[in-house]
């Protein structure tokens, strides 16, 4: 049993290191960049003329990926932590969960947008059930905001944890969007409970 567990841990570490090293080589700020690359390859969410909002953007891996695709649209990245500048990206240091921040975002774009991407997660506590509840609560907040800012064909991609409140988030997503999928990229750590919610086509309420 010890040998099997040790072998499994080795495979997990190798899997993690593969993307960490690849990020360094290709100039991405985090290995998370490859998650968005995979998601975009599967669902074709980002286009050259997309107006896009990146929530929980720091250190900037997802914004880097988006900036390489978007050439005619607008990218706004929001995080409570400071993020180094990226070409073609407007960074806003704010707490998205605050109403004032959401009002600022709505005002800044001034119109409905095409895409929201969110890799936000609550700080881990060591209690997996609690971490799931807190992160999925953030996902719900992103879902609620999406109905205020996305256009009728808009797309939302948001991190979600398998576990507590997963079914609640799924139910709310299906209330708001005509298409709802869940996808775990290969670059996501195999021992992580994270997956990604992909929604498209806001329903008329």
Residues 6+ apart with CB under 8 A from 104: 92, 94
* Residue 203 known to be catalytic: no
Identify the active-site residue in 35, 74, 159, 176.
159
Contact 92, 77 (CB under 8 A): yes
**Do the strands 52-55 and 75-79 form a parallel or antiparallel pair, or are they unpaired?**
parallel
Report CA 200 to chain centroid distance, whole Å.
14
Contact 60, 45 (CB under 8 A): no
- Dihedral sign from CA coordinates of 56, 80, 127, 32: positive
Catalytic residues: 159
């Amino acid at each position: 049993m010890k040998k099997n567990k040790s072998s499994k841990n080795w495979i997990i570490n190798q899997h993690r290191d593969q993307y960490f090293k690849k990020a360094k080589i290709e100039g991405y700020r985090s290995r998370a960049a490859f998650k968005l690359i995979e998601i975009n390859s599967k669902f074709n969410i980002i286009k050259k003329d997309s107006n896009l909002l990146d929530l929980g953007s720091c250190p900037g891996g997802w914004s880097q990926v988006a900036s390489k695709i978007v050439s005619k649209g607008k990218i706004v990245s929001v995080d409570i932590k400071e993020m180094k500048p990226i070409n073609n990206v407007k960074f806003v240091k704010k707490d998205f969960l605050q109403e004032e921040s959401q009002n600022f975002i709505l005002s800044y774009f001034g119109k409905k947008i095409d895409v929201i991407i969110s890799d936000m997660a609550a700080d881990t506590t060591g209690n997996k059930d609690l971490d799931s509840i807190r992160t999925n609560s953030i996902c719900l907040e992103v879902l609620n905001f999406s109905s205020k800012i996305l256009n009728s064909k808009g797309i939302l991609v948001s991190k979600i944890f398998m576990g507590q409140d997963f079914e609640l988030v799924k139910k709310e997503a299906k209330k708001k969007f005509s298409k709802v999928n869940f996808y775990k990229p290969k670059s996501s750590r195999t021992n992580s409970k994270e997956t990604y919610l992909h929604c498209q086509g806001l329903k008329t309420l």
